[in-house]
Amino acid sequence: MEIVWFKRDLRVHDHAPLLAACASGRPVLPLYIVEPDLWAQPDASGRQFAFLAESLADLDRSLQAGGARLVVLVGDAVQILHDLHASYGITAIHAHQETGNLWSFARDKAVRRWARAAGVPVHEAMQHGVWRAHDNRDGWAARWEAMMRRPRLPAPAAIAMADVAGDALPSAADLGLAPDPCPGRQPGGRRAGLALLKSFMGERGRPYRAAMSAPASGADHCSRLSPHLALGAISMREAFQSALTARQRWKDGGDSQFVGSIDSFISRLHWHCHFIQKLEDAPWLEARCLHPAYDGLPAHGPARLAAWAQGRTGWSFVDACMRSLNATGWLNFRMRAMVMAVASYHLRLDWRQSGAVLARAFTDYEPGIHWPQVQMQSGTTGTNIPRIYNPVKQGLDQDPQGRFIRRWLPELAHLPTPFVHEPWKAPGAAAYPAPLVDHEQAARDARAAITAIRRDPAHAGPARAIVRTHGSRKAGLPDTTRRRKTLPATTQGQLDLCQGTND
Protein backbone atom coordinates (compact mmCIF):
# COMPACT_ATOMS: atom_id res chain seq x y z
CA MET A 1 0.00 0.00 0.00
CA GLU A 2 0.89 3.67 -0.39
CA ILE A 3 0.91 5.74 2.80
CA VAL A 4 -0.03 9.40 2.81
CA TRP A 5 1.46 10.69 6.04
CA PHE A 6 -0.48 13.77 7.05
CA LYS A 7 1.41 16.08 9.40
CA ARG A 8 0.72 19.79 9.05
CA ASP A 9 -1.15 19.57 5.74
CA LEU A 10 -4.64 18.61 6.91
CA ARG A 11 -6.61 18.96 3.67
CA VAL A 12 -7.37 17.01 0.50
CA HIS A 13 -7.27 20.02 -1.85
CA ASP A 14 -3.97 21.22 -3.33
CA HIS A 15 -2.30 18.15 -1.85
CA ALA A 16 0.38 16.68 -4.14
CA PRO A 17 1.27 13.68 -1.93
CA LEU A 18 -2.35 12.49 -1.80
CA LEU A 19 -2.74 12.77 -5.58
CA ALA A 20 0.56 10.94 -6.15
CA ALA A 21 -0.49 8.06 -3.90
CA CYS A 22 -3.87 7.78 -5.64
CA ALA A 23 -2.17 7.80 -9.05
CA SER A 24 -0.14 4.71 -8.09
CA GLY A 25 -3.20 2.48 -8.49
CA ARG A 26 -2.45 0.76 -5.19
CA PRO A 27 -4.49 0.96 -1.96
CA VAL A 28 -3.89 4.20 -0.09
CA LEU A 29 -3.65 4.66 3.65
CA PRO A 30 -4.37 8.24 4.76
CA LEU A 31 -2.47 8.27 8.05
CA TYR A 32 -2.11 10.67 10.94
CA ILE A 33 0.25 9.68 13.75
CA VAL A 34 -0.39 11.14 17.18
CA GLU A 35 3.07 11.14 18.74
CA PRO A 36 3.03 11.38 22.55
CA ASP A 37 6.65 12.53 22.63
CA LEU A 38 5.79 15.47 20.37
CA TRP A 39 3.04 16.56 22.74
CA ALA A 40 5.47 16.28 25.66
CA GLN A 41 7.61 19.06 24.19
CA PRO A 42 7.64 22.45 25.97
CA ASP A 43 5.98 24.23 23.03
CA ALA A 44 2.85 22.01 23.02
CA SER A 45 -0.47 22.83 24.69
CA GLY A 46 -4.01 21.65 25.16
CA ARG A 47 -5.48 24.44 23.04
CA GLN A 48 -3.30 23.38 20.14
CA PHE A 49 -4.42 19.78 20.51
CA ALA A 50 -8.08 20.80 20.65
CA PHE A 51 -7.66 22.76 17.40
CA LEU A 52 -5.86 19.78 15.86
CA ALA A 53 -8.64 17.37 16.88
CA GLU A 54 -11.25 19.54 15.14
CA SER A 55 -9.05 19.80 12.06
CA LEU A 56 -8.57 16.03 11.93
CA ALA A 57 -12.33 15.49 12.15
CA ASP A 58 -12.84 17.87 9.24
CA LEU A 59 -10.11 16.12 7.22
CA ASP A 60 -11.79 12.78 7.86
CA ARG A 61 -15.07 14.16 6.48
CA SER A 62 -13.26 15.35 3.36
CA LEU A 63 -11.63 11.95 2.85
CA GLN A 64 -14.97 10.23 3.24
CA ALA A 65 -16.26 12.24 0.28
CA GLY A 66 -13.65 10.39 -1.79
CA GLY A 67 -14.51 6.99 -0.36
CA ALA A 68 -11.73 6.85 2.24
CA ARG A 69 -11.20 7.75 5.88
CA LEU A 70 -8.43 9.06 8.08
CA VAL A 71 -6.60 6.38 10.06
CA VAL A 72 -5.18 7.67 13.34
CA LEU A 73 -2.44 5.69 15.06
CA VAL A 74 -0.85 6.60 18.37
CA GLY A 75 2.82 6.06 19.15
CA ASP A 76 6.32 6.51 17.81
CA ALA A 77 6.37 7.21 14.06
CA VAL A 78 9.28 4.90 13.25
CA GLN A 79 7.76 2.02 15.20
CA ILE A 80 4.33 2.51 13.64
CA LEU A 81 5.74 2.60 10.11
CA HIS A 82 7.87 -0.48 10.87
CA ASP A 83 4.81 -2.38 12.12
CA LEU A 84 2.71 -1.34 9.11
CA HIS A 85 5.45 -2.44 6.74
CA ALA A 86 5.77 -5.79 8.50
CA SER A 87 2.01 -6.42 8.44
CA TYR A 88 0.95 -4.99 5.07
CA GLY A 89 3.98 -3.92 3.08
CA ILE A 90 4.56 -0.26 2.27
CA THR A 91 5.44 0.52 -1.33
CA ALA A 92 6.00 4.24 -0.67
CA ILE A 93 5.44 6.99 1.86
CA HIS A 94 4.10 10.31 0.55
CA ALA A 95 4.26 13.46 2.66
CA HIS A 96 4.80 17.18 2.54
CA GLN A 97 8.07 18.60 3.75
CA GLU A 98 7.69 19.88 7.29
CA THR A 99 9.67 22.67 8.92
CA GLY A 100 8.72 22.09 12.54
CA ASN A 101 10.40 22.25 15.90
CA LEU A 102 13.72 20.62 16.67
CA TRP A 103 12.00 17.45 17.90
CA SER A 104 10.12 16.96 14.61
CA PHE A 105 13.35 17.61 12.68
CA ALA A 106 15.01 14.75 14.55
CA ARG A 107 11.96 12.51 14.04
CA ASP A 108 11.97 13.08 10.29
CA LYS A 109 15.64 12.16 10.12
CA ALA A 110 14.88 8.95 12.06
CA VAL A 111 12.04 8.07 9.68
CA ARG A 112 14.26 8.59 6.66
CA ARG A 113 16.97 6.38 8.18
CA TRP A 114 14.41 3.63 8.81
CA ALA A 115 12.96 3.98 5.31
CA ARG A 116 16.38 3.68 3.66
CA ALA A 117 17.16 0.57 5.68
CA ALA A 118 13.75 -0.94 4.88
CA GLY A 119 13.92 -0.07 1.20
CA VAL A 120 10.80 2.10 1.38
CA PRO A 121 10.94 5.24 -0.77
CA VAL A 122 9.85 8.49 0.87
CA HIS A 123 8.49 11.16 -1.48
CA GLU A 124 8.28 14.62 0.07
CA ALA A 125 6.64 17.53 -1.75
CA MET A 126 7.09 21.23 -1.04
CA GLN A 127 4.13 22.71 0.79
CA HIS A 128 5.23 26.33 1.29
CA GLY A 129 7.69 28.53 -0.56
CA VAL A 130 10.50 27.06 1.54
CA TRP A 131 13.51 25.46 -0.13
CA ARG A 132 15.77 22.84 1.37
CA ALA A 133 19.56 22.91 1.10
CA HIS A 134 19.87 26.48 -0.20
CA ASP A 135 22.77 28.73 0.76
CA ASN A 136 21.46 32.28 0.24
CA ARG A 137 18.32 34.29 -0.50
CA ASP A 138 19.18 35.59 -3.98
CA GLY A 139 16.02 35.45 -6.08
CA TRP A 140 14.04 33.81 -3.29
CA ALA A 141 10.87 35.87 -3.78
CA ALA A 142 10.78 35.25 -7.54
CA ARG A 143 10.84 31.50 -6.90
CA TRP A 144 8.16 31.92 -4.24
CA GLU A 145 5.95 33.90 -6.60
CA ALA A 146 6.30 31.34 -9.36
CA MET A 147 5.37 28.50 -7.04
CA MET A 148 2.35 30.32 -5.63
CA ARG A 149 1.01 31.11 -9.10
CA ARG A 150 1.00 27.49 -10.23
CA PRO A 151 -2.49 26.01 -10.60
CA ARG A 152 -3.94 24.54 -7.44
CA LEU A 153 -4.34 20.80 -7.39
CA PRO A 154 -7.86 19.33 -7.21
CA ALA A 155 -8.98 16.91 -4.53
CA PRO A 156 -8.91 13.30 -5.77
CA ALA A 157 -12.26 12.16 -7.09
CA ALA A 158 -11.85 8.70 -5.54
CA ILE A 159 -9.40 7.12 -3.10
CA ALA A 160 -8.83 3.34 -3.01
CA MET A 161 -8.72 2.87 0.74
CA ALA A 162 -6.36 0.37 2.36
CA ASP A 163 -8.07 -1.78 4.98
CA VAL A 164 -6.17 -0.87 8.14
CA ALA A 165 -7.69 -0.36 11.58
CA GLY A 166 -6.89 2.77 13.53
CA ASP A 167 -6.73 3.91 17.13
CA ALA A 168 -9.13 6.19 18.94
CA LEU A 169 -7.95 9.75 19.09
CA PRO A 170 -6.56 10.28 22.60
CA SER A 171 -7.59 13.19 24.76
CA ALA A 172 -5.26 16.00 25.76
CA ALA A 173 -5.18 14.51 29.25
CA ASP A 174 -4.21 11.12 27.82
CA LEU A 175 -1.15 12.82 26.33
CA GLY A 176 -0.23 14.42 29.63
CA LEU A 177 -1.17 17.94 28.57
CA ALA A 178 -2.14 20.28 31.38
CA PRO A 179 -5.68 21.69 31.51
CA ASP A 180 -5.72 24.63 29.11
CA PRO A 181 -8.98 26.59 29.19
CA CYS A 182 -9.17 28.95 26.23
CA PRO A 183 -12.77 30.18 25.92
CA GLY A 184 -12.05 32.42 22.92
CA ARG A 185 -10.14 29.84 20.90
CA GLN A 186 -10.79 29.69 17.16
CA PRO A 187 -12.43 26.48 15.92
CA GLY A 188 -10.33 24.17 13.78
CA GLY A 189 -11.01 22.58 10.42
CA ARG A 190 -10.87 23.54 6.77
CA ARG A 191 -14.45 24.70 6.62
CA ALA A 192 -13.84 27.20 9.41
CA GLY A 193 -10.72 28.39 7.61
CA LEU A 194 -12.51 28.82 4.29
CA ALA A 195 -15.24 30.85 6.01
CA LEU A 196 -12.56 33.17 7.41
CA LEU A 197 -10.89 33.49 4.02
CA LYS A 198 -14.20 34.36 2.38
CA SER A 199 -15.19 36.93 5.00
CA PHE A 200 -11.74 38.54 5.00
CA MET A 201 -11.59 38.93 1.23
CA GLY A 202 -15.26 39.87 1.03
CA GLU A 203 -15.60 42.54 3.74
CA ARG A 204 -13.62 42.10 6.97
CA GLY A 205 -10.29 42.88 5.40
CA ARG A 206 -11.09 46.35 4.08
CA PRO A 207 -9.51 48.24 7.03
CA TYR A 208 -6.79 45.59 7.54
CA ARG A 209 -3.84 47.86 6.73
CA ALA A 210 -4.83 50.37 9.40
CA ALA A 211 -6.48 48.00 11.86
CA MET A 212 -3.81 45.32 12.17
CA SER A 213 -1.58 47.25 14.58
CA ALA A 214 -4.03 47.44 17.48
CA PRO A 215 -5.06 44.31 19.37
CA ALA A 216 -8.79 45.06 19.46
CA SER A 217 -9.28 46.07 15.81
CA GLY A 218 -6.79 43.44 14.68
CA ALA A 219 -8.89 40.70 16.23
CA ASP A 220 -11.74 41.67 13.92
CA HIS A 221 -9.97 42.76 10.76
CA CYS A 222 -6.87 40.56 10.52
CA SER A 223 -7.45 37.49 8.41
CA ARG A 224 -7.24 35.10 11.42
CA LEU A 225 -6.09 32.41 8.95
CA SER A 226 -2.86 31.75 10.82
CA PRO A 227 -3.91 28.58 12.71
CA HIS A 228 -5.35 27.10 9.52
CA LEU A 229 -2.16 27.86 7.63
CA ALA A 230 -0.08 26.45 10.49
CA LEU A 231 -1.86 23.08 10.26
CA GLY A 232 -2.27 23.24 6.50
CA ALA A 233 -6.06 23.07 6.38
CA ILE A 234 -5.66 25.84 3.79
CA SER A 235 -2.62 25.90 1.55
CA MET A 236 -0.48 28.99 1.12
CA ARG A 237 -1.24 28.86 -2.60
CA GLU A 238 -4.97 28.95 -1.88
CA ALA A 239 -4.58 32.02 0.33
CA PHE A 240 -2.34 33.79 -2.19
CA GLN A 241 -4.51 33.10 -5.22
CA SER A 242 -7.69 34.03 -3.35
CA ALA A 243 -6.03 37.32 -2.45
CA LEU A 244 -5.09 37.99 -6.09
CA THR A 245 -8.67 37.32 -7.21
CA ALA A 246 -10.12 39.57 -4.51
CA ARG A 247 -7.59 42.31 -5.27
CA GLN A 248 -8.63 42.40 -8.91
CA ARG A 249 -12.31 42.46 -7.98
CA TRP A 250 -11.87 45.39 -5.58
CA LYS A 251 -9.58 47.20 -8.02
CA ASP A 252 -12.22 46.90 -10.74
CA GLY A 253 -14.74 48.25 -8.24
CA GLY A 254 -12.58 51.26 -7.43
CA ASP A 255 -12.05 50.33 -3.76
CA SER A 256 -8.47 51.56 -3.26
CA GLN A 257 -8.61 51.01 0.50
CA PHE A 258 -9.36 47.32 0.08
CA VAL A 259 -6.73 46.96 -2.65
CA GLY A 260 -4.11 48.45 -0.32
CA SER A 261 -5.12 46.13 2.48
CA ILE A 262 -4.88 43.07 0.26
CA ASP A 263 -1.46 44.23 -0.91
CA SER A 264 -0.38 44.32 2.73
CA PHE A 265 -1.83 40.85 3.29
CA ILE A 266 0.01 39.45 0.25
CA SER A 267 3.30 40.91 1.49
CA ARG A 268 2.78 39.08 4.77
CA LEU A 269 2.27 35.80 2.95
CA HIS A 270 5.75 36.34 1.51
CA TRP A 271 7.16 37.08 4.95
CA HIS A 272 5.41 34.01 6.37
CA CYS A 273 7.55 31.72 4.23
CA HIS A 274 10.63 33.93 4.58
CA PHE A 275 10.66 33.27 8.31
CA ILE A 276 9.94 29.56 7.97
CA GLN A 277 12.93 29.45 5.62
CA LYS A 278 15.10 30.70 8.48
CA LEU A 279 14.20 27.71 10.65
CA GLU A 280 14.58 25.36 7.69
CA ASP A 281 18.14 26.62 7.28
CA ALA A 282 18.92 26.61 11.02
CA PRO A 283 16.74 24.00 12.79
CA TRP A 284 18.48 24.72 16.11
CA LEU A 285 17.04 28.26 16.37
CA GLU A 286 14.75 27.35 19.26
CA ALA A 287 17.74 26.21 21.34
CA ARG A 288 20.58 28.70 20.91
CA CYS A 289 21.15 32.27 19.82
CA LEU A 290 21.51 32.90 16.10
CA HIS A 291 24.59 35.00 16.91
CA PRO A 292 26.68 33.18 19.56
CA ALA A 293 27.83 36.40 21.24
CA TYR A 294 24.44 36.72 22.95
CA ASP A 295 24.39 33.31 24.60
CA GLY A 296 25.88 34.69 27.81
CA LEU A 297 23.30 37.40 28.54
CA PRO A 298 22.07 37.10 32.16
CA ALA A 299 18.45 36.11 32.77
CA HIS A 300 16.05 36.37 35.70
CA GLY A 301 14.18 33.47 37.23
CA PRO A 302 10.72 31.91 37.44
CA ALA A 303 8.99 34.62 39.49
CA ARG A 304 9.33 37.25 36.79
CA LEU A 305 8.50 34.70 34.08
CA ALA A 306 5.25 33.76 35.86
CA ALA A 307 4.25 37.39 36.40
CA TRP A 308 4.78 38.17 32.71
CA ALA A 309 3.03 34.98 31.53
CA GLN A 310 -0.03 35.62 33.71
CA GLY A 311 -0.34 39.33 32.90
CA ARG A 312 0.90 40.70 36.24
CA THR A 313 3.86 42.87 35.20
CA GLY A 314 2.24 46.11 36.40
CA TRP A 315 2.26 47.59 32.88
CA SER A 316 -1.43 47.51 32.14
CA PHE A 317 -1.26 47.32 28.35
CA VAL A 318 1.28 44.47 28.42
CA ASP A 319 -0.85 42.64 31.00
CA ALA A 320 -4.02 43.14 28.95
CA CYS A 321 -2.27 41.68 25.90
CA MET A 322 -1.09 38.63 27.82
CA ARG A 323 -4.49 38.00 29.40
CA SER A 324 -6.19 38.39 26.03
CA LEU A 325 -3.75 35.91 24.52
CA ASN A 326 -4.28 33.42 27.34
CA ALA A 327 -8.06 33.60 26.86
CA THR A 328 -8.21 33.57 23.05
CA GLY A 329 -5.04 31.90 21.77
CA TRP A 330 -4.35 34.82 19.42
CA LEU A 331 -2.73 38.24 19.47
CA ASN A 332 -1.95 40.61 16.64
CA PHE A 333 1.64 40.66 15.45
CA ARG A 334 2.74 44.05 16.76
CA MET A 335 1.65 43.09 20.26
CA ARG A 336 3.34 39.68 19.97
CA ALA A 337 6.54 41.56 19.21
CA MET A 338 5.97 43.93 22.12
CA VAL A 339 5.30 41.30 24.79
CA MET A 340 8.35 39.32 23.65
CA ALA A 341 10.55 42.40 23.64
CA VAL A 342 9.36 43.39 27.13
CA ALA A 343 10.18 39.89 28.36
CA SER A 344 13.69 39.98 26.93
CA TYR A 345 14.74 43.60 27.27
CA HIS A 346 12.87 44.97 30.27
CA LEU A 347 12.51 41.83 32.36
CA ARG A 348 15.72 40.08 31.24
CA LEU A 349 14.02 36.71 30.82
CA ASP A 350 15.65 33.87 28.90
CA TRP A 351 14.06 34.00 25.44
CA ARG A 352 13.92 30.20 25.31
CA GLN A 353 11.66 30.11 28.37
CA SER A 354 9.46 33.08 27.47
CA GLY A 355 9.36 31.87 23.86
CA ALA A 356 8.01 28.50 25.02
CA VAL A 357 5.33 30.26 27.09
CA LEU A 358 4.14 32.13 24.02
CA ALA A 359 4.37 29.04 21.82
CA ARG A 360 1.98 27.20 24.14
CA ALA A 361 -0.38 30.16 24.27
CA PHE A 362 -0.62 30.53 20.48
CA THR A 363 -3.25 28.32 18.90
CA ASP A 364 -1.57 29.25 15.62
CA TYR A 365 1.93 28.31 16.77
CA GLU A 366 4.14 28.04 13.70
CA PRO A 367 7.71 27.17 14.75
CA GLY A 368 9.25 28.64 11.61
CA ILE A 369 7.75 32.04 12.30
CA HIS A 370 7.84 31.89 16.06
CA TRP A 371 11.46 31.14 16.89
CA PRO A 372 13.09 33.53 14.39
CA GLN A 373 10.73 36.24 15.60
CA VAL A 374 11.46 35.44 19.24
CA GLN A 375 15.14 35.96 18.52
CA MET A 376 14.54 39.11 16.47
CA GLN A 377 12.49 40.70 19.24
CA SER A 378 15.08 39.64 21.82
CA GLY A 379 18.05 41.17 20.02
CA THR A 380 19.96 37.90 19.70
CA THR A 381 20.30 37.74 15.90
CA GLY A 382 23.25 40.14 15.87
CA THR A 383 21.93 41.83 12.74
CA ASN A 384 18.55 43.39 13.50
CA ILE A 385 18.12 46.87 14.86
CA PRO A 386 16.97 46.32 18.49
CA ARG A 387 13.31 47.22 18.86
CA ILE A 388 12.86 48.10 22.53
CA TYR A 389 9.20 48.96 22.94
CA ASN A 390 7.99 51.47 25.49
CA PRO A 391 5.12 49.49 27.09
CA VAL A 392 3.26 52.64 28.18
CA LYS A 393 3.59 54.42 24.85
CA GLN A 394 2.37 51.32 23.01
CA GLY A 395 -0.81 51.39 25.07
CA LEU A 396 -1.33 55.08 24.41
CA ASP A 397 -0.75 54.53 20.68
CA GLN A 398 -2.79 51.36 20.18
CA ASP A 399 -5.46 51.72 22.89
CA PRO A 400 -5.70 55.48 23.55
CA GLN A 401 -9.08 55.32 25.30
CA GLY A 402 -8.09 52.28 27.36
CA ARG A 403 -10.99 50.14 26.16
CA PHE A 404 -8.85 47.07 25.49
CA ILE A 405 -7.16 47.44 28.88
CA ARG A 406 -10.49 47.77 30.70
CA ARG A 407 -11.88 44.72 28.92
CA TRP A 408 -9.04 42.44 30.03
CA LEU A 409 -8.19 44.13 33.32
CA PRO A 410 -11.60 44.78 34.89
CA GLU A 411 -9.90 45.73 38.16
CA LEU A 412 -8.78 48.93 36.40
CA ALA A 413 -12.13 49.71 34.77
CA HIS A 414 -12.90 52.46 37.30
CA LEU A 415 -9.76 54.47 36.53
CA PRO A 416 -9.95 57.52 34.28
CA THR A 417 -8.14 57.17 30.97
CA PRO A 418 -4.89 58.95 31.86
CA PHE A 419 -4.32 56.56 34.76
CA VAL A 420 -5.52 53.33 33.17
CA HIS A 421 -2.24 53.30 31.21
CA GLU A 422 -0.13 54.01 34.32
CA PRO A 423 -2.17 52.78 37.28
CA TRP A 424 0.76 53.25 39.68
CA LYS A 425 0.30 57.00 39.23
CA ALA A 426 -3.38 57.02 40.20
CA PRO A 427 -4.26 59.09 43.31
CA GLY A 428 -4.16 56.82 46.31
CA ALA A 429 -2.56 54.14 44.11
CA ALA A 430 -4.73 51.56 42.36
CA ALA A 431 -5.14 48.06 43.76
CA TYR A 432 -2.91 46.73 41.04
CA PRO A 433 0.65 45.35 41.06
CA ALA A 434 3.39 47.95 40.78
CA PRO A 435 5.64 47.61 37.70
CA LEU A 436 8.27 44.94 38.16
CA VAL A 437 10.96 47.41 37.08
CA ASP A 438 11.25 51.00 35.91
CA HIS A 439 10.68 50.50 32.18
CA GLU A 440 12.73 53.52 31.10
CA GLN A 441 15.79 52.50 33.11
CA ALA A 442 15.39 48.88 32.03
CA ALA A 443 15.34 49.96 28.37
CA ARG A 444 18.51 51.99 28.84
CA ASP A 445 20.26 49.07 30.51
CA ALA A 446 19.21 46.65 27.75
CA ARG A 447 20.37 49.00 25.02
CA ALA A 448 23.71 49.48 26.72
CA ALA A 449 24.22 45.71 27.09
CA ILE A 450 23.54 45.07 23.39
CA THR A 451 25.69 48.00 22.30
CA ALA A 452 28.62 46.65 24.33
CA ILE A 453 28.34 43.26 22.63
CA ARG A 454 28.13 44.78 19.15
CA ARG A 455 31.21 46.95 19.71
CA ASP A 456 33.36 43.88 20.19
CA PRO A 457 35.40 43.45 16.96
CA ALA A 458 34.63 39.71 17.03
CA HIS A 459 30.92 40.48 16.53
CA ALA A 460 31.10 41.54 12.88
CA GLY A 461 32.23 38.29 11.25
CA PRO A 462 29.38 36.06 12.44
CA ALA A 463 26.90 38.88 11.75
CA ARG A 464 27.98 39.07 8.10
CA ALA A 465 27.66 35.29 7.78
CA ILE A 466 24.14 35.43 9.21
CA VAL A 467 23.13 38.09 6.67
CA ARG A 468 24.52 35.99 3.80
CA THR A 469 22.45 32.97 4.84
CA HIS A 470 19.28 34.52 6.21
CA GLY A 471 19.18 38.08 4.87
CA SER A 472 16.47 39.32 2.53
CA ARG A 473 18.43 42.05 0.69
CA LYS A 474 18.52 40.25 -2.68
CA ALA A 475 15.44 38.16 -2.17
CA GLY A 476 13.04 40.65 -3.75
CA LEU A 477 10.74 40.61 -0.72
CA PRO A 478 8.26 43.45 -0.16
CA ASP A 479 9.74 46.23 1.95
CA THR A 480 7.69 46.53 5.15
CA THR A 481 9.94 49.01 6.89
CA ARG A 482 10.50 52.73 6.44
CA ARG A 483 14.00 52.58 7.89
CA ARG A 484 15.86 50.84 5.07
CA LYS A 485 17.74 53.90 3.77
CA THR A 486 19.15 54.77 7.16
CA LEU A 487 20.45 51.34 8.10
CA PRO A 488 24.17 50.54 8.01
CA ALA A 489 25.24 48.07 5.36
CA THR A 490 25.98 45.33 7.90
CA THR A 491 22.36 45.22 9.03
CA GLN A 492 20.48 46.13 5.87
CA GLY A 493 19.87 42.56 4.81
CA GLN A 494 18.11 41.55 7.98
CA LEU A 495 15.48 44.18 8.67
CA ASP A 496 13.42 44.78 11.75
CA LEU A 497 9.80 44.26 10.71
CA CYS A 498 7.23 46.70 11.92
CA GLN A 499 4.43 44.32 10.99
CA GLY A 500 4.41 40.60 10.67
CA THR A 501 3.21 37.22 9.70
CA ASN A 502 0.59 36.02 12.15
CA ASP A 503 -1.99 38.65 11.15
How many Cβ atoms from other residues are within 10 Å of residue 353's Cβ? 16
What residue numbers does the annotated binding site cover? 208, 265
Q: Kindly list the strands in the beta sheet with 2-6, ordered across the sheet, starting from the edge strand earlier in the chain.
A: 71-74, 28-34, 2-6, 92-96, 122-125
Contact 265, 259 (CB under 8 A): no
Say what the alpha-carbon torsion angle 449, 451, 454, 455 is, to the nearest 10 degrees. -110
- 471-to-27, 69, 264, 267, 329 alpha-carbon distances in Å: 45, 43, 21, 16, 30
CA 320/CA 402 separation, integer angstroms: 10
Nearest to 364 by CA among 268, 503, 489, 492: 503
Q: In angstroms, rounded to a whole number, what is the distance separating the alpha carbons of residues 261 and 244?
A: 12
430 CB-near residues (< 8 Å, 6+ apart):
411, 412, 415, 419, 423, 424
How many Å apart are CA 60 and CA 45, to the nearest integer?
A: 23
Alpha-carbon gap, residue 238 to 218, rounded angstroms: 22
User: What are the distances in angstroms from CA 144 to CA 40, 236, 243, 259, 422?
Assistant: 34, 11, 15, 21, 45
Q: How far is CA 408 from the centre of its chain?
A: 24
- What is the rounded CA–CA span in Å between residue 498 and residue 493? 15
Q: Can you tell me the distance from the alpha carbon of 424 to that of 434, in angstroms, rounded to the nearest whole number?
A: 6
Binding residues for FAD: 208, 265
Q: Show the 3-state SS of 252-305.
A: HCCCHHHHHHHHHHHHHHHHHHHHHHHHHHCHHHHCCCCCHHHCCCCCCCHHHH
> What are the φ and ψ backbone dihedral angles of 115, each rounded to 5 degrees?
-65, -40
CA distances from 59 to 11, 26, 185 (A): 6, 21, 19
Angle of helix 367-378 versus helix 256-281 axis, rounded to 10: 90
